[in-house]
Structure 1
Amino acid sequence: MVLGAFFATAASVPWRRSLLLLPTLALLWQLCRLLHRLWWRPRCLERELRSKGLRGTSYRFLTGDLREQGRRNKDAWSRPLPLRCHDIAPRVAPLLCDSVREHGKVSLSWFGPIPKVTIADPELAKSVLSDKSGHFEKPKFPALWKLLANGLLNHEGEKWVKHRRLLNPAFHLEKIKCMLPEFSACCEELVGRWTESIGSSGGMHELDIWPELKNLAGDVISRTAFGSSYLEGMKIFQLQTEQAERLIANIRRILIPGYLSLPTPNNKRMYQVNNEVESILRGLIAKRTKAIKEGESTKDDLLGLLLESNMRHTYDNGQSSMGMTNEDVIEECKTFYFAGMETTSVLLMWTMIVLSMHPEWQDRAREEVLGLFGKNKPGYEGLNRLKTVTMILYEVLRLYPPSIHFSRKTCKKVLIGDKRYPAGMMIELSVLLMHHDPDIWGSDVHEFKPERFAEGISKASRNSGAFLPFGWGPRICIGQNFALTEAKMAICMILQRFDFVLAPSYTHAPYTVVTLHPMHGAQIRLGLI
Structure 2
Amino acid sequence: MELGFSTLQWLRLLPPLSLCILLFSYLCTSLWLRPARLRRKLRSQGVKGPKPSFLFGNIPEMRKIQKQLVGSEQEQEGAKDWFSSNYVATLFPYFLHWSRVYGSIYLYSTGSIQALFVTDPDMVKEIANCKSLDLGKPLYQQKELGALLGMGILTSNGDLWAHQRKVIAPEFFMEKVKGMVHLMIEAANRMLISWENEVEKEGGSAEMVVDESLRSFSADVISRASFGSNFSEGKEIFNKIRQLQKAMAKQNMLIGVPGSRYLPTKTNREIWSLYTSIRNLILNVAKRHHQHDSVTCVNNDLLHCIVEGAKADPFSSCTPEDFIVDNCKNIYFAGHETTSTTAAWCLMLLASHPKWQSCARAEVLDVCQGNPLNADMLRKLRTVTIVIQETLRLYPPAAFVTREGLNDIKLGSLNIPKGTNIRIPIALGHRDPAIWGPNFDRFDPARFANGIAGACKPPHMYMPFGVGTRTCAGQNLAMVELKVVLSLVLSRFEFALSPKYVHCPAFRLTIEPGNGVPLILKKLS
Deviates most, 410-419 or 267-276: 267-276
Residue 66 (structure 2) aligns with: 73
1:185 aligns with 2:206: no
Q: Which residue of structure 1 aligns with residue 522 of structure 2?
A: 527
Equivalences for 1:71-150 in 2 at 5 Å? Answer: 71-76=64-69, 79=73, 82-140=81-139, 141=141, 143=143, 145-150=145-150
Amino acid at match of 2:226: A
Deviation by residue 1:12-49 (Cα, 9 ceiling, x = unmatched): x9965653345334423432432343334444443432
Q: CA 1:243–1:373 in structure 2 vs 1: closer, same or farther (change >3 Å)?
A: same
1:286 and 1:275 map into 2 onto residues whose CA distance is 16
Within the alignment, does 1:433 sit opposite 2:428 as a pair?
Answer: yes
Give the 3-state SS of the residue equivalent to 1:175 in structure 2: helix
2:491 equivalent among 492, 496, 500: 496
Residues 384-435 of structure 1: CA deviation (Å, up to 9, x unaligned): 1111111111111111111121111112222222121221111111212211
Amino acid in the other structure paired with 1:97: L
Once the two structures are TM-superposed, the CA of residue 351 in structure 1 deviates from its matched residue by 0.8
Paired letter, 1:328 = F
SS of the counterpart of 2:132?
Answer: coil
Do residues 35 (structure 1) and 40 (structure 2) align?
no
Structure 1 CA distance for aligned equivalents of residues 391 and 235 of structure 2:
28
Measure how far apart 1:381 and its partner are: 0.8
Q: Deviations over 1:307-338 (max 9, x none)?
A: 15864997xxxx67499935422322211111
Alignment deviations for residues 488-515 of structure 1 (CA, whole Å, 9 cap, x no partner): 1000011111111111111111131201
Secondary structure at the aligned position of 1:457 is classed as: helix
Q: Distance in 2 between matches of 1:459 and 1:126?
A: 17
**Structure 1 range deviating more: 474-483 or 271-280:** 271-280
Residue from 354, 361, 373 that aligns with 2:349: 354
- For structure 1, which segment, 265-274 or 193-202, has the greater mean C-alpha deviation from structure 2 after superposition? 265-274
Q: Which runs of 4+ in 1 moved over 6 A?
A: none
1:7 is aligned to none
Per the alignment, residue 370 of structure 1 pairs with: 365
Q: Does 1:390 align with 2:385?
A: yes
Q: Distance in 2 between matches of 1:519 and 1:306?
A: 33
Worse overlay, 33-42 or 493-502: 33-42
Deviation at 1:361, TM superposition (A): 0.7
C-alpha distance in structure 2 between counterparts of 1:116 and 1:320, whole Å: 32
Structure 1 position 50 matched with structure 2 position 48: no
More deviation in 220-229 or 174-183? 220-229
- Decide whether aligned partners of structure 1 residues 38 and 325 sit closer, same or farther in structure 2, where only a CA change above 3 A counts: closer
User: Residue 55 of structure 2 aligns with which residue?
Assistant: 62
2:335 is aligned to 340
Deviates more, 1:76-85 or 1:278-287: 76-85
State how far apart, in whole Å, the 1-side matches of 2:460 and 2:244 are.
Answer: 35
Inter-CA distance 454–252: structure 2 relative to 1 (3 Å threshold): closer
Which of 353, 357, 380 aligns to 2:375? It is 380
Q: What runs of 5+ residues in structure 2 fail to find an aligned partner?
A: none
Between the aligned partners of 1:114 and 1:252, the Cα distance in structure 2 is: 12
- Cα RMSD (Å) of the superposition? 2.7
**Would you say the 8 A contact 1:298–1:308 is kept in 2?**
no
1:347 positional shift: 0.8
Over 3 Å counting, the alpha-carbon distance change for 1:278 and 1:368 in structure 2 is: same
Matched, 1:307 2:304: yes
Residues 391, 357 of structure 1: alpha-carbon distance in 2 compared, 3 angstrom cutoff: same
Post-superposition Cα deviations, 1:438-458, rounded to whole Å, max 9, x if no partner, equal 111112211212111111112
Deviation at 1:272, TM superposition (A): 3.8
- Contact 1:285-1:326 within 8 A present in 2 as well: no
CA, structure 1 residues 186+86, in 2 after alignment: closer, same or farther (shift >3 Å)? farther
In 2, the alpha carbon distance for the partners of 1:267 and 1:214 equals: 25
> 1 CA distance for matches of 2:161 and 2:142?
19
The CA distance in 1 between the partners of 2:474 and 2:35, in whole Å, is 38
Partners in 1 of 2:393 and 2:401 — Cα distance? 15
Question: 1:448 & 1:409 partners in 2: Cα distance?
Answer: 33
Indicate conservation of the 8 Å contact 1:142/1:254, yes or no. Answer: no
Matched, 1:516 2:511: yes
Deviations 1:111-136 (A, max 9, x none): 22332111112331232233222222
2:463 paired with 1:463: no
Is the contact between residue 214 and residue 345 of structure 1 (CA under 8 Å) also seen in structure 2? Answer: yes
Give the structure 2 partner of residue 279 of structure 1.
280
**1:176 maps onto 2:171 in alignment:** no
Whole-angstrom distance in 2 between the partners of 1:85 and 1:413:
41
For normalisation by structure 1, the TM-score amounts to 0.88
Which of 296, 299, 323 does residue 298 from structure 1 map onto?
296
Secondary structure of 2:457's aligned partner: coil
Match of 1:4 in 2: none
2:226 corresponds to which residue?
A: 225
